[in-house]
Amino acid sequence: MVQELLEDRYRFSFNIQVLNDLFVISSACESNVFEGTQLIKLFSNSLPHTIIFNTCGVTHLYTEITKKYLKRLKEVYPNYTIYITGCGSSYYPEIYKEFGIVIKDEEKFNPASYGLKDVNPTFINCYLPKIRIQNGCSHQCTYCITRLVKGKSTSYNYDFIYESISRIIQNGWDTVVLSGINLTEYYSDGMYLTDLCIKILKDFITLVNSES
């Protein structure tokens, strides 16, 4: 039903995840989808009858589409609490206040932002696992506000990435998605993105072979 509120041409612009009557709707960049999965794991047992909308502000068109979507959500789900977060709502909070409660991007994972003292996270193994290896952007594109909300590009070190992938493999997965705001800017431990991918393949092919 939530997906049907969108015009056909915009349906692939948003990712929708649902668990225990919590809807998490994310503008469909891989970074937002990654965050959406973390949000639904964290809050699905604590926020019934709730919609969390993780916005993007990369273009004015996205903002207009999001506003129309939020307006329809309010009409169709009048008894649901709507929280609006992400790049778009953080940079344009006044635009989104009429549709729900605006939460700053950096506060989206804080239970207190939703009026909660504590949460009971859910382990779910039904979404393709993603790990964030990069955040922010150092380019100066005039049409995009992501750099103003997320800050300059930062890259996660290899130890963190290795440990994250190891946990995913231990949970039975053989596939992982590397996500970020601008992966072309990845650089850490003397490695660019191509170097990182080669090292991951070498290390984990060796690990899998040694355990089999």
Structure tokens, 104: 């700053």
Binned at pLDDT 50, 70 and 90, residue 120 comes out as confident
Secondary structure of residue 51 in the 3-state scheme = strand
Lowest mean pLDDT among 89-98, 151-160, 198-207: 198-207
Radius of gyration of the chain (CA): 18
pLDDT of residue 82: 96
pLDDT digit string, tens, across residues 83-96: 999 888 888 889 99
pLDDT of residue 210: 46
Binned at pLDDT 50, 70 and 90, residue 169 comes out as confident
Secondary structure of residue 84 in the 3-state scheme = strand
CA dihedral sign of residues 45, 46, 52, 56: negative
pLDDT digit string, tens, across residues 53-68: 999 877 777 888 888 8
* 203, 210 Cβ separation under 8 angstroms: no
Q: How far apart are CA 211 and CA 195, in angstroms?
A: 24
Over 50: is that where the pLDDT of 170 sits?
A: yes
* 34, 179 Cβ separation under 8 angstroms: yes
Residue type, 142: T
Over 50: is that where the pLDDT of 185 sits?
A: yes
* 15, 33 Cβ separation under 8 angstroms: yes
Residue type, 24: V
CA dihedral 94, 98, 104, 105 (to 10 degrees): -100
